């Protein structure tokens, strides 16, 4: 019967360790007695050897020295070796002290033995890692074979010479993965960093060749084939400067996303991608209170509406990080629903993922789903958001954004959902379009149901601006126009919008959802508004062209319902800070639920009749600051 591979490996490692520990004790005697061991000392050595072997291997076992994968030996493993050897030596010394008071034994032998045991065992483990890292892969032996089979020195590998921009922890982690993964065809030739302390130093034997402004010089000197930007957090100004230097060198460059984009916080080679516009936003990584979020989500049943959308799908990914018991994906579009379901089941196998192809406008279908799966938390991200489209068909905004939200609120109350988080928009503030007005009405509706005696559900609103890269964002539109050679159409040279990345928005929605006590509007810090004209020019340059030279920019005027700038706070809302620096609380006015429901019922009837004028007039009646365009 053949031994199992793991058991066989254990026996081999154990046998080698026996030889090393025996050799350590014998070498300790040699050192102590000037390499002359008499018969009496040899008999003492043989007498105590079994006890020492048993004591050391028991300690090695309890400190997990036989459970690690030694091809990945790390500092933590070396520390365990030191701990195990120290405890073993103390036990041995204590036993000999109390049993013989060291009569016939040399005290210094055990000190020398302790040092040599750590040295021998650590060196053996480290040699295993070095073997697997440099010699234990097919790529190495292919190179050796090519060298041996060729009488001349020639290029034996098609690996690209890679320059890493950045020399911090982030860059070091990327380097280690590149080095350890034989399938990746890269040889890192150096790092660049603006920190003067790092210049001339080495990371794992690879030098920091210069500062970032010297990219062009370093690329020529080191014969670089490709560059990788690996900086954990970088401002928009810094990223633009780095990109300018990279383009000047004429070498292909890519980036690793900032910490805010990484789902589990782990830097991996799979995250490498082309530089995108979101890298130019220069937003700081979001620091989440993961303990607070985990306390609300771990082991709970969660529902996300609009689960296939840009925000909804990212919310689902972020929620799964905190290991809910069950996640309901509520989505009307089948293809996006299937894609996010497949992704979540592959990446988060411990979470029960329930895809539901359903519409929030169908109240009966909605209630059946909530009754069946009993979600404890609902994130309501489903909405129609296309401003010009909803100006043409305002009844769709009423049916989905208002009536659909009302259905979900009623179902949440009916089945005692603990927490209801409504995802809103800055367009709800002093709205100039039907979409914004419909979202403001939905906000009022959510607020009016909080704290009612009929339900214990906590209703929370999270309001924020645009997200770069979402389906409805201008970024995809600009990219298509650039790909066609232009022109890029901008509505107005002075139009501005707030932007954040999709991962950042989703993370802050999760954080805000756990902070609210009910009835609040939680406002996400959107930073500084960005001119759409500047965004268009950045995207053109990012694509390798010059605006107004290679690609023309046309100003086409504001579309129906659009305004020059967006706001995040409306009249009567006072800002209250929270313990999270990127989240604020707005306290608005209370709303009369009965009066509001009556007006909304009229609005829904006008939507059924597709009466555009009455819909807009009623929206203005409910939201006085709304100025409709008839």
pLDDT in tens, 25-37: 888 888 888 888 7
Q: How does residue 588 score in pLDDT terms, banded at 50, 70 and 90? A: low
Domain 160-275, what fold? Answer: Rossmann fold (3.40.50)
Mean pLDDT of the chain, nearest integer: 79
Which of 162-166, 484-488, 498-502 has the least mean pLDDT? 498-502
pLDDT at 474 over 90: no
Tokens 């079994």 locate to 50
Phi/psi of residue 522, nearest 5 degrees: -95, 125
Least confident of 164-168, 235-239, 278-282: 278-282
Q: What is the reported pLDDT for 404?
A: 94
Six-digit token string for 369: 């789903």
pLDDT for res 358: 94
Residue 398: name the closest of 594, 623, 608 by CA.
608
Pairing of strands 226-229, 160-165: parallel
Tell me what pLDDT residue 67 has.
66
576 has which bridge partners? 585
pLDDT for 198: 85
- The catalytic residue among 56, 427, 616, 618 is 427
Q: How far apart are CA 105 and CA 92, in angstroms?
A: 12
Per the model's pLDDT, the better-predicted residue between 291 and 134 turns out to be 291
Residue 273: is its pLDDT beyond 70? no
Task: Convert the pLDDT of each residue in 500-551 to its tens digit.
Answer: 677 777 877 888 777 777 767 777 666 667 777 877 887 787 776 778 888 8
| Overall CATH class of domain 290-622 | alpha beta
CB 381 within 8 A of CB 462: no
Q: What pairs with residue 187 in β-bridges?
A: 161
CA distance 350 to 323: 7
pLDDT tens column, 58-85: 888 888 777 655 565 667 778 888 998 8
- By the 8 A CB rule, do 463 and 508 touch? no
The pLDDT assigned to 61 comes to 84
Identify whether 427 is a catalytic site residue. Answer: yes
Could you tell me which of 119, 57, 124 has the C-alpha nearest to residue 92? Answer: 57
Nearest Cα neighbor of 227 from 251, 194, 208, 193 is 251
Are 197 and 167 spatial neighbours (Cβ–Cβ below 8 Å)? no
Q: How confident is the model at residue 264 (pLDDT cuts 50, 70, 90)?
A: very low
Write the CA distances from 490 to 72, 496, 577, integer angstroms. Answer: 53, 11, 36
Check residue 142 and give its pLDDT. 52
Domain layout of the chain by residue ranges: 5-134, 160-275, 290-622
What distance in Å separates the CA atoms of residue 590 and residue 97, rounded to the nearest whole number? Answer: 79
The strand pairing partners of 330, in sequence order, are 305, 356
Q: Does the pLDDT at position 265 exceed 60?
A: no
User: Whose structure tokens read 């930007």?
Assistant: 229
| Res 401: pLDDT | 94
Distance CA 630, CA 628 (A): 6
How high is the pLDDT of residue 589? 57
């Amino acid at each position: 019967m053949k031994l199992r591979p793991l058991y066989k490996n254990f026996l081999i490692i154990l046998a080698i360790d026996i030889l090393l520990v025996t050799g350590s004790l014998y070498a300790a005697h040699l050192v102590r007695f000037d390499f002359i061991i008499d018969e009496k000392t040899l008999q003492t050595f043989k007498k105590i050897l079994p006890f020492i072997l048993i004591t050391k291997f028991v300690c090695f076992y309890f400190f997990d020295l036989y459970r690690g994968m030694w091809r990945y030996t790390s500092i933590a493993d070396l520390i365990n070796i030191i701990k195990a050897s120290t405890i073993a030596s103390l036990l041995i010394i204590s036993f000999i002290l109390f049993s013989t008071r060291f009569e016939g034994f040399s005290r210094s032998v055990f000190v020398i033995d302790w040092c040599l045991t750590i040295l021998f065992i650590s060196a053996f483990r480290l040699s295993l890692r070095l073997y697997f890292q440099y010699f234990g892969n097919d790529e190495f032996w292919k190179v050796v074979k090519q060298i041996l089979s060729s009488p001349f020195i020639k290029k034996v590998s098609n690996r690209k010479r890679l320059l890493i921009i950045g020399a911090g922890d982030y860059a070091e982690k990327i380097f280690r993965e590149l080095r350890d993964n034989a399938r990746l065809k890269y040889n890192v030739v150096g790092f660049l960093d603006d920190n003067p302390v790092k210049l001339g130093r080495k990371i794992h034997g690879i030098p920091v060749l210069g500062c970032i402004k010297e990219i062009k010089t370093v690329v020529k000197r080191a014969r670089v084939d490709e560059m990788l930007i690996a900086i954990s957090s970088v401002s928009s100004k810094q990223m633009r400067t780095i990109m300018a230097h990279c383009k000047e060198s004429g070498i292909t460059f890519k980036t690793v996303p900032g910490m805010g984009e990484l789902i589990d916080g782990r830097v991996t080679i799979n995250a490498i991608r082309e530089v995108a516009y979101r890298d130019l936003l220069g937003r700081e990584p979001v620091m989440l209170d993961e303990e607070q979020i985990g306390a609300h989500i771990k082991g709970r049943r969660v529902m996300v509406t609009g689960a296939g959308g840009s925000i909804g799908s990212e919310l689902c990914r972020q929620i799964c990080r905190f290991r809910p018991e069950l996640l309901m994906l509520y989505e009307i579009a089948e293809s996006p629903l299937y894609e996010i379901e497949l992704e979540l089941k592959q990446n988060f196998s411990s979470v029960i993922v329930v895809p539901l192809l359903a519409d929030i406008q169908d109240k009966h279908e909605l209630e059946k789903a909530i009754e069946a799966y009993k979600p404890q938390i609902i994130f309501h991200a489903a909405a129609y958001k296309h401003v010009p489209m909803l100006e043409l068909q305002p009844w769709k905004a009423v049916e989905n954004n208002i009536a659909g939200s009302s259905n979900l609120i009623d179902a949440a109350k009916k089945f005692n959902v603990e927490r209801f988080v409504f995802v809103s928009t800055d367009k709800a503030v002093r709205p100039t379009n039907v979409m914004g007005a419909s979202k403001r009405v939905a906000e009022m509706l959510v607020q009016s149901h909080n704290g009612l005696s009929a339900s214990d559900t906590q209703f929370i609103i999270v309001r924020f601006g645009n997200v770069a890269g979402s389906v409805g964002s201008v970024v995809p539109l600009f990219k298509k126009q650039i790909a066609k050679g232009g022109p890029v159409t901008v509505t107005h040279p002075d139009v501005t919008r707030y932007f954040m990345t999709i991962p950042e928005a989703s993370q802050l929605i999760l954080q805000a959802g756990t902070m609210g006590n009910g009835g609040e509007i939680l406002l996400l810090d959107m930073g500084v508004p960005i001119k759409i004209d500047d965004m268009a020019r950045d995207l053109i340059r990012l694509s390798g062209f010059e605006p107004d030279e290679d690609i023309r920019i046309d100003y086409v005027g504001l579309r129906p319902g659009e305004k020059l700038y967006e706001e995040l706070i409306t009249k009567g809302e006072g800002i209250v800070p929270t313990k999270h620096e990127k989240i604020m609380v707005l306290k608005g006015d209370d709303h009369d639920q009965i009066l509001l429901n009556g007006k909304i019922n009229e609005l829904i009837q006008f939507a059924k009749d597709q009466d555009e004028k009455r819909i807009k007039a009623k929206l203005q009646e409910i939201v006085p600051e709304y100025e409709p365009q008839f």
